[in-house]
Amino acid sequence: MNSNTLARLVITCADRPGIVAAVTSFLFAHDANITELDQHSSDAGGGRFFMRIEFQTERLDVAPEILEREFGAVVGLRFAMDWHLHFAARRLRMAVLVSRHDHAALELLWRWQRGELPVDIPCVISNHPDLQAAVGAFGIPFVHVPFSAETQAAAEQDILQRVADVDFIVLARYMRVLSAGFVAAFPNRIINIHHSFLPAFAGGDPYGQAQTRGVKIIGATAHYVTAELDHGPIIEQDVVRVTHRHELDDLKGLGRDLERQVLARAVRWHVEDRVLVDGNKTVVFA
Amino acid sequence: MNSNTLARLVITCADRPGIVAAVTSFLFAHDANITELDQHSSDAGGGRFFMRIEFQTERLDVAPEILEREFGAVVGLRFAMDWHLHFAARRLRMAVLVSRHDHAALELLWRWQRGELPVDIPCVISNHPDLQAAVGAFGIPFVHVPFSAETQAAAEQDILQRVADVDFIVLARYMRVLSAGFVAAFPNRIINIHHSFLPAFAGGDPYGQAQTRGVKIIGATAHYVTAELDHGPIIEQDVVRVTHRHELDDLKGLGRDLERQVLARAVRWHVEDRVLVDGNKTVVFA
Amino acid sequence: MNSNTLARLVITCADRPGIVAAVTSFLFAHDANITELDQHSSDAGGGRFFMRIEFQTERLDVAPEILEREFGAVVGLRFAMDWHLHFAARRLRMAVLVSRHDHAALELLWRWQRGELPVDIPCVISNHPDLQAAVGAFGIPFVHVPFSAETQAAAEQDILQRVADVDFIVLARYMRVLSAGFVAAFPNRIINIHHSFLPAFAGGDPYGQAQTRGVKIIGATAHYVTAELDHGPIIEQDVVRVTHRHELDDLKGLGRDLERQVLARAVRWHVEDRVLVDGNKTVVFA
Amino acid sequence: MNSNTLARLVITCADRPGIVAAVTSFLFAHDANITELDQHSSDAGGGRFFMRIEFQTERLDVAPEILEREFGAVVGLRFAMDWHLHFAARRLRMAVLVSRHDHAALELLWRWQRGELPVDIPCVISNHPDLQAAVGAFGIPFVHVPFSAETQAAAEQDILQRVADVDFIVLARYMRVLSAGFVAAFPNRIINIHHSFLPAFAGGDPYGQAQTRGVKIIGATAHYVTAELDHGPIIEQDVVRVTHRHELDDLKGLGRDLERQVLARAVRWHVEDRVLVDGNKTVVFA
């Protein structure tokens, strides 16, 4: 598929008959060529409606911005939709927040460098200076913003200014808890990687908790950040088997591999508009 | 979702703009309530179009058979579609062919008995008498049709008569190779379970082959049967890890569990109209 | 390997140098032929020692019971071992407790009937009469022991008498909570299957909890029962992916398949002396 | 566990009674402290014997080289063992050969840089100059050795000289086929990553082959290199699910992640002396 002429339309609204017909008839009337369509209704009667459409724009009869305006005026309004249209030629802007553990952040930068992650990364921000060189090697600005209980308000203000124009933020093992105010500025636009299979082992030291409990499988969870710690909508999870032979360092090592993979998938899906939020859950059209 | 009023429309055709709009507008015009829609195009330009729609029929403005006839006349013809409409209230009829290994067949019967597999099973046919009692315990007629190189033609005739009115056939470890003529009578309607991760270890004794090669993972494959042995469109595969400690009997034991799961999933997806054939491949909307 | 002449020696004790040499020299001196040995120390200094040995008894220079007595007197005493020697020719006796959900219990009976589970099953006990016929079809006595808050003491007494001579008990979706006194009579000899990925979703309605939280993976856990509900040593866990499309009934269906597999593995490992308890965790030599 | 005082003894020989006792008694007599022991016999009578022992050397009564010489003279000779003793303080030397695809090589370098892979890497050799900068960033010498059908003999000579003192070689997507003579210089000491689930899709373009066949799962295989292409002893394999929606580039992307993980595991196991070769198969004590 040609990604320069690719567009994605994502819709959430109250379910009622006729939405698919209205949306696809609109697109057809404007010569959009649908190549992938996923639709889900949470309940046959009175539930929520979710849809994601990929289409090619080569033969559009109007300019993209006209299509967008028309859609809102004609279809979006009629069904009181929460919708957005993303022309893939416009790359999303992603900020990365990280502390000392580098694996999750570097995995993203690595994929970005390889062209696997079509975003722009204006900056990587950390509450520690440790990763300055590693991030710099990718040609990405690294910003050290100290963050303690005392400085939290100022630190968050600093960060908010620096990320004012990004589309979303990734917490790639950022070990500080952001305030409800900060989170509210990026609703469902902050992705965190938690190093456990949530809801098991929320909070601190999940690998230690897992070892103490003697589980046979450990996991990692990528989720949107909400005001309540580790309770936001889950985007993706994955697991790996462990045995009695794995010491704490082994769990952390296996966990790092999981975290990298799970976070990378979640970020890619977010970038590709595959993640729709449904209350405290997600619909992922992957 | 209410399965009594559930219908599924499955479509394959040459791709061109406007198909989704035409189909969903047709359904909306007749008050069908779409609850799930999957669409896939194999190529942005000039490929194949695949779609599966689930809808509720409670408020249909016409009788089901009218809807079906109309759809064919109005939409199906226009886009030269290969399509079918399945009202779930009509249960599919499934015949099971089995030899001596009982696990795959019994798993299906067990799920059927529990109500997990909404089909009718007019008969289980075997080239050995061994499973007479086990099948009889489910209240399903068991038919012994001996099948050797010499009797193949007559045996296949016998079987064809007995399955004349079934919708599809499951080869649940049926160890005879059916003739091209037999297979042609049920195109993409015979499901086989092969005890390897195809295309590895096609043919006989796959577990022995796997042990000799020293693979670290074994698998099972459910596929539609075509004239070429073990080469039909793959519906589902799954795998399990093995180690040097597993002897041949262990591989067979692990494999039995896999075969049961993989075949059960493939049959369920077939029954739910989730499997669309694309040349020698499948599109599975699972 | 010949299972009639197979024996297994399982040892737990405080770790110190020389244990492996002492044990294997003892076995060699009596012409036992070791075919598989697993050893694990929980810590290089001052930890716990775990070992499982499989050996063939064909050329033993003494009778099995002499070997057993000698081992205890000579080696077991010296290292203050917690040990047992299991000659596989003696089949373990397993009781099954079940409520209304039949899948976990029937999976065990089915494997037993096929010869995959080398145990004797003196009885299946249920607090409901529903499974009388299904269990009876396997030729195994079914006992209905009603169990309510009021009758718990008498019911447990009744059950204890019926299982007085069994080696272990399996709770195959037995929905009653056994008293601490009952559990104490079978320390690390009661296996439960919990229908979640513990410690997530302990307690009631785990599938409902999983759906509410919006997890992307669900699990099942087999564990030894202790006085604290759902907190005993975990033997085995497994998971399966789920999506937004799975309704509660789908989760239960997928979960049933998981429960069957996880419980069957845990029971087999227990029967084969592969599970050693280490505080509230297990060492599984699988 | 303290890795500075860690040693590993790996043994393969014809099976006969008394080996475990002889080996562990020898180690005990010299105050070696066994912390992990795995043993496997390929057959109860007349098979091959495999054993891996981890022990701590802190209290050894003799110098490591004395222990090693003694073991060979006393135990190794007696049982005609193929054995080696690896004191972990001595880091293995690993050479990496790579072509243009960088993901597999960089994954190893990245883990090495993080301290996850305790080896020394004297050089990375490539038949293309492309990865000069990427490898140089890790402070590892990069050598460009052109390799064509005409120059193969000279190229292999060049490479052999450069790797004369390494313990093993990793082919991290090295797209040239090495001669039987080259391979013979490093028996079971060249690890290759093949981008398919062998034996399926051996040879060229495995992702293209996988897509054509329509498999539902793709894989990667790490194996020792032998004279016969893609037929050497398999060390590790892993798989990932794919669907009809994955185009060739998607398969390659998913495959890259698999290759990185599978190769990293295989190399780590090799470094930790966990891989024992048994004819054309491996015994992996992982």
CA nearest B38 in C: which residue? C245
Cβ distance of D41 and C27 shorter than 8 Å: no
* Predicted confidence (pLDDT) per residue in A179-237, tens digit: 999 999 999 999 999 999 999 999 889 999 999 999 999 999 999 999 998 999 999 99
Q: What is the pLDDT of residue D203?
A: 87
pLDDT tops 80 at residue C131: yes
Question: Residue D31 is encoded by which pair of tokens?
Answer: 């105050």
What does pLDDT average to over chain C? 95
CA nearest B23 in A: which residue? A21
Partner residue facing C36 (CB), from D25, D34, D40: D40
Question: Residue B275 is encoded by which pair of tokens?
Answer: 């499997």
Q: What is the pLDDT of residue A263?
A: 98
What does pLDDT average to over chain D? 95
pLDDT tops 80 at residue D46: no
Say how far apart CA A7 and CA A67 lie, in whole Å: 11
Catalytic entry in A102, A167, A230, A273: A230
Percent of chain D with pLDDT over 70: 99
* Three-class secondary structure of residue C50 per DSSP: strand
Mean pLDDT of D225-252: 95
Say how far apart CA D146 and CA D155 lie, in whole Å: 7
Q: What is the pLDDT of residue A56?
A: 93
Say how far apart CA C71 and CA C31 lie, in whole Å: 13
User: What amino acid is encoded at D130 in this protein?
Assistant: D
Looking at beta carbons, which residues of chain B come within 8 Å of C1? Answer: 247
Q: Per residue of chain B (286 residues), what is the pLDDT tens digit? A: 577 899 999 999 999 989 999 999 999 999 999 999 999 998 766 799 999 999 999 999 999 999 999 999 999 999 999 999 999 999 999 999 999 999 999 999 999 999 999 999 999 999 999 999 999 999 999 999 999 999 999 999 999 999 999 999 999 999 999 999 999 999 999 999 999 999 999 988 999 999 999 999 999 999 999 999 899 999 999 999 999 999 999 999 999 999 999 999 999 999 999 999 999 999 999 9
SS (H, E, C) B225-281: CCCCCCCCCEEEEEEEECCCCCCHHHHHHHHHHHHHHHHHHHHHHHHCCCEEEECCE
CATH 3.30.70.260 boundaries in chain A: 3-87
Q: CB-hemisphere CA count at 13 Å for B262?
A: 32
Mean pLDDT of D162-180: 97
C132 touches chain D (CB under 8 A): no
C-alpha distances out from residue A26 to A13, A31, B27, Å: 17, 9, 16
Q: What is the pLDDT of residue B167?
A: 98
**Min CA distance, D140 vs chain B (Å)?**
33
Question: Residue B146 is encoded by which pair of tokens?
Answer: 């001996």
Could you tell me which residues come within 8 angstroms of residue C164 by beta carbon, excluding any fewer than 6 positions away? none
A190 in Cβ contact with A168 (< 8 Å): yes
* Three-class secondary structure of residue C203 per DSSP: coil
Question: Residue D250 is encoded by which pair of tokens?
Answer: 């998607």
Q: What is the pLDDT of residue C176?
A: 94
Q: What is the pLDDT of residue A1?
A: 59
Fold (topology level) of C3-87: Alpha-Beta Plaits (3.30.70)
DSSP state of C274: -
* Predicted confidence (pLDDT) per residue in C107-125, tens digit: 999 999 999 999 999 999 9
Q: What is the pLDDT of residue A45?
A: 66
Say how far apart CA C9 and CA C226 lie, in whole Å: 25
User: What amino acid is encoded at B18 in this protein?
Assistant: G
Looking at beta carbons, which residues of chain A come within 8 Å of B78? Answer: none
* Three-class secondary structure of residue B80 per DSSP: coil
* Three-class secondary structure of residue D182 per DSSP: helix
DSSP state of C101: -
D244 touches chain A (CB under 8 A): no
Buried residues in A44-56 as b, exposed as e (16+ CB within 10 A): beeebbbbbbbbb
Cβ distance of D197 and B201 shorter than 8 Å: no
Looking at beta carbons, which residues of chain C come within 8 Å of B137? Answer: 137
Q: What angle do CA D75, D77, D83 make, to 5 degrees?
A: 75
pLDDT tops 90 at residue C45: no
How many Cβ atoms from other residues are within 10 Å of residue D177's Cβ? 13
How many Cβ atoms from other residues are within 10 Å of residue A248's Cβ? 13
Say how far apart CA A197 and CA A254 lie, in whole Å: 13
Say how far apart CA D224 and CA A244 lie, in whole Å: 28
- In angstroms and rounded to an integer, the radius of gyration of the C-alpha atoms of chain C is 20
A247 touches chain B (CB under 8 A): no
Q: What is the pLDDT of residue C3?
A: 79
The helix (run of H) or strand (run of E) holding residue D233 is none
Say how far apart CA B83 and CA B14 lie, in whole Å: 12
From D14, D10, D6, select the one nearest D39 (Cα to Cα): D10
Say how far apart CA D51 and CA D40 lie, in whole Å: 6
C-alpha distances out from residue B283 to A286, C242, D243, Å: 15, 19, 8
Q: What is the pLDDT of residue D3?
A: 79
Fold (topology level) of C92-284: Rossmann fold (3.40.50)
DSSP state of D144: E
Chains that touch C (3 or more CB pairs under 8 A): A, B, D
Question: Residue D158 is encoded by which pair of tokens?
Answer: 């060049």
The structure's pTM equals: 0.95
Q: What is the pLDDT of residue B187?
A: 96
Place D229 in a pLDDT band, splitting at 50, 70 and 90: confident
C199 touches chain A (CB under 8 A): yes
Looking at beta carbons, which residues of chain A come within 8 Å of D261? Answer: 257
* Predicted confidence (pLDDT) per residue in A121-171, tens digit: 999 999 999 999 999 999 999 999 999 999 999 999 999 999 999 999 999
Q: What is the pLDDT of residue C46?
A: 72
Phi/psi at D13 (5° precision): -165, 175
SS (H, E, C) B34-59: EEEEEEEECCCCCCEEEEEEEEECCC
Cβ distance of B34 and A33 shorter than 8 Å: no
Active site residue A230: yes
Interchain CB contacts (distance < 8 Å): A and C: 81
Q: What is the pLDDT of residue B157?
A: 97
For tokens 């032998």, what's the residue? Answer: D226
Does the N-terminal peptide bond of residue C199 adopt cis geometry, omega within 30 degrees of 0?
Answer: yes
Phi/psi at A250 (5° precision): -65, -45
Question: Residue B15 is encoded by which pair of tokens?
Answer: 């791709």
Place D60 in a pLDDT band, splitting at 50, 70 and 90: very high
Interchain CB contacts (distance < 8 Å): A and D: 14
C-alpha distances out from residue A116 to A104, D101, D173, Å: 15, 14, 19
C-alpha distances out from residue A282 to A81, A234, B271, C97, D100, Å: 17, 6, 28, 38, 39
Q: What is the pLDDT of residue B42?
A: 87
D117 in Cβ contact with D272 (< 8 Å): no
* Predicted confidence (pLDDT) per residue in D8-44, tens digit: 999 999 999 899 999 999 999 999 999 999 999 987 6
User: What amino acid is encoded at D192 in this protein?
Assistant: N
Q: What is the pLDDT of residue D127?
A: 97
Q: What is the pLDDT of residue D44?
A: 62
Q: What is the pLDDT of residue C224?
A: 98
Q: What is the pLDDT of residue A46?
A: 72
A217 in Cβ contact with A207 (< 8 Å): no
Cβ distance of B36 and A41 shorter than 8 Å: yes
CATH 3.40.50.170 boundaries in chain A: 92-284
Say how far apart CA C274 and CA C285 lie, in whole Å: 5
Mean pLDDT of C224-234: 94
Q: CB-hemisphere CA count at 13 Å for B22?
A: 19
C-alpha distances out from residue A262 to A190, A193, A240, A257, C195, Å: 15, 8, 12, 9, 24
